[in-house]
């Protein structure tokens, strides 16, 4: 027990004196938070739009207004020729162009079909889809508001409702997931390099000739990084809640407990990497090798449901897959421990296996 | 009766009996056998890669022997490696304490690992700091210490838990002569206190300071004995020739009958010979023919270096 404490204390001294790692530990989570919180916004809003209004009438202005008021489109420029609009799309100044022909209001007044064209840059499918749906809704509403079509009565009163994230804010979706992402990146990295560093600098040779037991060494080295992991998780949760105002619907205790389980899995990955790697560079390469598929396949950005079956099967072996369901479940849906049992037991199993495996691999004899 | 059986040979600190380590087809240590009593300094000599470190690692319980037996402090190398670790100190070849911890923190850490704590630990740390003269540097980071002080710290660290057996793997490699002497003075003090020291070294003049020395080459123990005895075996076999030009003479003398080896020193050659009188004549005649000027030629006592190079040449001739 005293040996474990001695190792832990020594490890904290290492951390405190290693400025570079310390900066990484503080900066990386905050940077990620800012990037995902402010920068990466999958909400499609304020699409830069060029308008070629040849009609210049009261109605055409009303239509343009309807587009801008929706928040989906922002008029960047009024142009006076089609080629100007085309070149704006080509060169990326605009992502959509609204073309209103000269006979627009004349036709409407004559109760004839008037034409309006919206050109959308379809290179990136997500905003293009959103713009497409939004434009249709805007034009429908415009027609009703301006009484261009009779008020319709539908046989089905269809009322879709968005639950858990009614405003479809991407921060609600991304930021809880970020806890999983940052822990998956940082924790194995710092754990692996802390252990590999002892190999690299020859410290392990001195430790091996002491009567310390492998489990004491591993626990002693792990404890500081569990603490750091908890601090990182806490700082992300706090910033997410207070700065980005993501409500936490579920129990904070459950959230912390399950984060701890996930942390142990992450530590285990680092431990395992350290038994394979000979130097810190190799260790971080191994960690990166596993972190990349975790980000892409766990459902952090792309939902696992829409993946081909064999890819989804891979995602079952990724701890982050389960943890993402847990954090999003607790934070956004207010799920409790027992609602999440299907996610909890695979994580617990992984934590157990990876720790036992690593301690077994860590032998006090040299090869 | 039973009591006698328990303490078999209480004077023996370290023993090896046909200790062998193979890495695949390569035999690093080949049936090495020796015995070291408490309170003595055992010098383990050999070239790089001769098997010195491998032997130490087996005896320290961090490398499993392929075959053979070993006992360290009464514990078996094969079956009780963890018990061995409690009774030995170890100074590795490469500085292996924590560079980013200061002197006191390193000692505190290892003291705790060895199960010491509280006042006994702090007073013991004070003791070893005083013994090694590191007391003024207790707050300095280990990484900022000079080479000699680093080794002193490593030794201070190795004796923290009062082990009766200490392994030192080239404790003076790369140090200046003054630091080397300081380290050896420290080792003598420890040996006087009854500690058994197992030291590997490249330096022959350091080997002279040991009670017993053993030569190892390509994993085989070539010779073991007291330094004076080993030198005695080579007596009347070393001829010191002062001559000019040196390199030409060295090549010439090596070809002469009865010359087993030539070592070049500053202005003299040491000839390892079988029959002194006959060789002296041959040297003089051939030097005259080739225009080499001999200023003096005399018989000198063998140094350990001569012993070592002789052993090494003999072994290579056998092979």
List the single residue in A with minimal CA-CA distance to B102.
A13
- Which candidate from B85, B95, B100 shows the least CB-CB separation from A14? B100
A250 assigned to some structural domain: yes
- Which candidate from A204, A205, A211 shows the least CB-CB separation from B85? A211
pLDDT at res. A179 = 92
Answer yes or no: do A10 and B96 touch at CB < 8 A.
no
Answer yes or no: do A14 and B81 touch at CB < 8 A.
no
What are the backbone dihedrals phi and psi of residue B180, each rounded to the nearest 5 degrees, phi first?
Answer: -65, -40
What is the count of residue pairs from A and B with beta carbons less than 8 Å apart? 75
Q: Does A41 touch chain B (CB under 8 A)?
A: no
- Which candidate from A10, A14, A208 shows the least CB-CB separation from B62? A208
Residues A12, A88, single domain; the answer is no
A160 assigned to some structural domain: no
Residues A27, A63, single domain; the answer is no
What is the side-by-side strand order in the sheet with B268-273? B259-264, B268-273, B238-244, B293-299
A197 assigned to some structural domain: yes
C-alpha span between B12 and B17 (Å, rounded): 13
Q: How would residue B54 be classed by pLDDT, with cut points 50, 70 and 90?
A: very high
- Is the pLDDT assigned to residue B314 strictly greater than 70? no
Q: Does A245 touch chain B (CB under 8 A)?
A: no
- Is the pLDDT assigned to residue A263 strictly greater than 90? yes
Answer yes or no: do A203 and B98 touch at CB < 8 A.
yes
Determine how β-strand A47-53 pairs with β-strand A96-100.
parallel
- Chain B residues whose CB is inside 8 A of the A365 CB are 62-64, 81
Please state, for a pLDDT cut of 70, what percent of chain A lies above it: 98
pLDDT tens by residue, B162-194: 999 999 999 988 888 898 999 999 999 999 988
Answer yes or no: do A6 and B112 touch at CB < 8 A.
yes
Residues A323, A190, single domain; the answer is yes
Residues A98, A244, single domain; the answer is no
Residues A174, A26, single domain; the answer is yes
Instruction: At B309, list the tokens.
Output: 């190079």
CATH code assigned at A51: 3.40.1710.10
Is the preceding peptide bond at A332 cis, omega within 30 degrees of 0?
Answer: no
> Which long-range contacts does A285-291 make (Cβ < 8 Å, 24+ apart)?
A286/A192, A287/A185, A287/A188, A287/A189, A287/A192, A290/A188, A291/A184, A291/A185, A291/A188
Give B288's contacts (C-beta < 8 A, 6+ positions apart): none
Q: Does A19 touch chain B (CB under 8 A)?
A: no
- Is the pLDDT assigned to residue A325 strictly greater than 80? yes
pLDDT higher at A277 or A263? A263
Domain, as residue range, for A279: 2-40+169-361
A154 assigned to some structural domain: no
A130, A145, A160 — which closes off a domain? Answer: A145
pLDDT tens by residue, A85-134: 999 999 989 999 999 999 999 998 888 888 999 999 988 888 888 889 99
Answer yes or no: do B85 and A14 touch at CB < 8 A.
no
- Is the pLDDT assigned to residue A10 strictly greater than 90? yes
For residue B171, the distance in angstroms to the closest alpha carbon of chain A comes to: 14
Please state, for a pLDDT cut of 90, what percent of chain B lies above it: 50
Q: Does A5 touch chain B (CB under 8 A)?
A: yes
A159 assigned to some structural domain: no
Residues A292, A331, single domain; the answer is yes
Answer yes or no: do A10 and B98 touch at CB < 8 A.
yes
| Mean local confidence (pLDDT), A25-51 | 83
- Chain B residues whose CB is inside 8 A of the A212 CB are 113
Q: Where are the domains of chain B?
A: 7-226, 236-300
| Mean local confidence (pLDDT), B2-27 | 76
CA dihedral angle for residue B70, residue B72, residue B77, residue B81, rounded to 10 degrees: 180
pLDDT at res. A308 = 86
pLDDT tens by residue, A161-181: 888 887 778 888 888 999 999
Q: Which of B73, B86, B87, B112 to mutate to test the interface with A (most CBs of A within 10 A)?
A: B112
Q: Which of B29, B62, B86, B105 to mutate to test the interface with A (most CBs of A within 10 A)?
A: B62
User: Which residues sit opposite B239 in a β-bridge?
Assistant: B271, B299
For chain B, give the mean pLDDT. 87
Q: Does A15 touch chain B (CB under 8 A)?
A: no
C-alpha span between A326 and A331 (Å, rounded): 8
- Chain B residues whose CB is inside 8 A of the A9 CB are 109
Judge whether A218 and A271 are in contact, CB under 8 Å.
Answer: yes
Residues A203, A339, single domain; the answer is yes
Residues A208, A83, single domain; the answer is no
Answer yes or no: do B113 and A210 touch at CB < 8 A.
yes
A317 assigned to some structural domain: yes
Q: Total domain count for chain A? A: 2
Tell me the residues of chain A between 211 and 240 that have a Cβ less than 8 Å away from chain B.
211-212
ipTM: 0.79
Answer yes or no: do A3 and B85 touch at CB < 8 A.
no
Answer yes or no: do A6 and B113 touch at CB < 8 A.
yes
Residues A135, A259, single domain; the answer is no
C-alpha span between B23 and B33 (Å, rounded): 19
Q: Which of A1, A22, A199, A209 to mutate to test the interface with B (most CBs of B within 10 A)?
A: A209
Nearest residue to A226 via CA among A179, A193, A191, A196: A191
pLDDT at res. B3 = 43
pTM above 0.90, yes or no: no
pLDDT higher at B135 or B318? B135
pLDDT at res. A311 = 85
Residues A208, A301, single domain; the answer is yes
Region of A164 (left: φ > 0; alpha: ψ -120 to 50; beta: rest) is left
List the single residue in A with minimal CA-CA distance to B23.
A367
Judge whether A336 and B34 are in contact, CB under 8 Å.
Answer: no
- Is the pLDDT assigned to residue A282 strictly greater than 60? yes
Residues A63, A121, single domain; the answer is yes
User: Which residues sit opposite A47 in a β-bridge?
Assistant: A73
Q: Which CATH superfamily is domain B7-226 in?
A: P-loop containing nucleotide triphosphate hydrolases (3.40.50.300)
Residues A268, A243, single domain; the answer is yes
- Is the pLDDT assigned to residue B67 strictly greater than 60? yes
Taking CA atoms, A249 is separated from A173, A329, A333, A336, B7, in Å, by 14, 9, 6, 10, 70
CATH hierarchy code of domain B236-300: 3.30.70.100
- Chain B residues whose CB is inside 8 A of the A364 CB are 62, 81-82
Nearest residue to A67 via CA among A42, A46, A41, A52: A46
- Is the pLDDT assigned to residue A367 strictly greater than 60? no
Answer yes or no: do B86 and A201 touch at CB < 8 A.
no
C-alpha span between A197 and B157 (Å, rounded): 20
Q: SS3 letters for chain A? A: CHHHHHHHHHHHHHHHHCHHHHHHHHHHHHHHHHHHHHHCCCCCCCEEEEEEECCCCHHHHHHHHHHHHCCCEEEEEECCCHHHHHHHHHHCCCCEEEEECCCHHHHHHCCCCCCCEEEECCCCHHHHHHHHHHHHHHHHHHHHHCCCCCCCCCCCCCCCCCCCCCCCCHHHHHHHHHHHHHHHHHHHHHHHHHHHHHHHCCHHHHHHCCCCCHHHHHHHHHHHHHHHHHHHHHHHHHHHHHCCCCCCCCCHHHHHHHHHHHHHHHHHHHHHHHHHCCCHHHHHHHHHHHHHHHHHHCCCCCCHHHCCHHHHHHHCCCHHHHHHHHHHHHHHHCCCHHHHHHHHHHHHHHHHHHHHHHHHHCCCCCC
The end-to-end CA distance of chain B, in Å, is 48
Please state, for a pLDDT cut of 90, what percent of chain A lies above it: 46
C-alpha span between A158 and A137 (Å, rounded): 15
């Amino acid at each position: 027990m005293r040996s474990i404490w001695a190792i832990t204390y020594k490890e904290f001294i290492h951390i405190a004196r290693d400025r570079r790692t310390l900066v990484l530990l503080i900066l990386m989570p905050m940077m990620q938070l800012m990037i995902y919180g402010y920068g990466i916004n999958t909400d499609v809003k304020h699409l830069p739009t060029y308008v070629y209004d040849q009609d210049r009438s009261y109605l055409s202005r009303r239509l343009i207004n309807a587009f801008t008021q929706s928040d989906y489109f922002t008029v960047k420029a009024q142009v006076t020729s089609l080629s100007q609009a085309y070149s704006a799309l080509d060169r990326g100044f605009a992502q959509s162009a609204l073309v209103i022909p000269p006979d627009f209001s004349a036709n409407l007044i004559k109760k004839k079909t008037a034409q309006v064209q919206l050109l959308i840059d379809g290179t990136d499918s997500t905003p293009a889809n959103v713009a497409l749906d939004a434009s249709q809704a805007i034009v429908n509403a415009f027609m009703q508001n301006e009484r261009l079509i009779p008020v319709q009565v539908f046989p089905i009163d269809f009322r879709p409702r968005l639950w858990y994230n009614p405003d479809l804010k991407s921060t609600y979706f991304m930021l809880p997931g970020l806890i999983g992402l940052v822990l998956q990146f940082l924790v194995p990295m710092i754990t692996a390099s802390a252990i590999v560093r002892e190999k690299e600098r020859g410290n392990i040779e001195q430790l091996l000739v002491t009567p310390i037991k492998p489990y004491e060494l591993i626990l002693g080295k792990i404890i500081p990084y569990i603490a750091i992991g908890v601090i990182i998780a806490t700082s992300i949760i706090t910033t997410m809640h207070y700065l980005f105002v993501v409500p936490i619907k579920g129990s904070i205790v459950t959230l912390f407990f399950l984060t701890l389980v996930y942390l142990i899995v992450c530590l285990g990955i680092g431990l395992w990497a350290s038994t394979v790697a000979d130097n810190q560079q190799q260790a971080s390469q191994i960690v990166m090798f596993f972190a990349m598929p975790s980000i892409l396949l766990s459902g952090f950005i792309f939902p696992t449901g829409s993946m081909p079956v064999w890819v989804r099967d891979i995602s079952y072996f990724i701890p982050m897959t389960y943890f993402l369901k847990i954090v999003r479940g607790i934070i956004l849906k207010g799920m409790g421990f027992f609602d999440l049992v299907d996610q909890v037991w695979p994580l617990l199993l992984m934590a157990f296996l990876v720790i036992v495996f690593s301690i077994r691999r860590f032998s006090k004899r040299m090869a | 009766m039973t009591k006698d059986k328990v303490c078999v040979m209480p004077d023996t600190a370290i023993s090896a009996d046909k200790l062998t380590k193979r890495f695949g087809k390569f035999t690093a240590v080949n049936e090495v056998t020796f015995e070291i009593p408490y309170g003595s300094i055992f010098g383990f000599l050999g070239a790089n890669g001769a098997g010195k470190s491998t032997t130490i690692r087996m005896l320290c319980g961090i490398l499993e022997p392929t075959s053979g037996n070993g006992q360290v402090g009464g514990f078996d190398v094969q079956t009780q490696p963890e018990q061995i670790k409690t009774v030995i100190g170890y100074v590795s070849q490469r500085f292996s304490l924590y560079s980013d911890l200061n002197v006191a923190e390193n000692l505190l850490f290892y003291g705790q690992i060895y199960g010491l704590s509280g006042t006994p630990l702090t007073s013991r740390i004070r003791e070893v700091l005083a013994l090694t003269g590191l007391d003024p540097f207790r707050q300095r980071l280990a990484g900022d210490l000079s080479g000699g002080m680093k080794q002193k710290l490593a030794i201070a660290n190795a004796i923290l838990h009062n082990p009766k057996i200490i392994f030192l793997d080239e404790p003076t490699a790369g140090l200046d002569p003054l630091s080397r002497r300081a380290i050896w003075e420290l080792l003598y003090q420890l040996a006087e206190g009854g500690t058994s020291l197992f030291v590997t070294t490249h330096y022959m003049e350091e080997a002279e300071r040991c009670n017993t020395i053993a030569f190892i080459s390509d994993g085989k123990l070539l010779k073991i004995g007291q330094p004076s005895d080993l030198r005695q075996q080579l007596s009347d076999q070393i001829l010191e020739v002062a001559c000019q030009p040196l390199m030409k003479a060295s090549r010439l003398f090596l070809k002469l009958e009865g010359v087993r080896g030539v070592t070049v020193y500053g202005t003299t050659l040491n000839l390892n010979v079988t029959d002194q009188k006959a060789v002296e004549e041959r040297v003089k005649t051939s030097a005259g023919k080739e225009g080499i000027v001999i200023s003096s030629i005399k018989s000198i006592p063998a140094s350990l270096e001569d012993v070592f190079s002789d052993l090494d040449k003999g072994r290579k001739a056998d092979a």
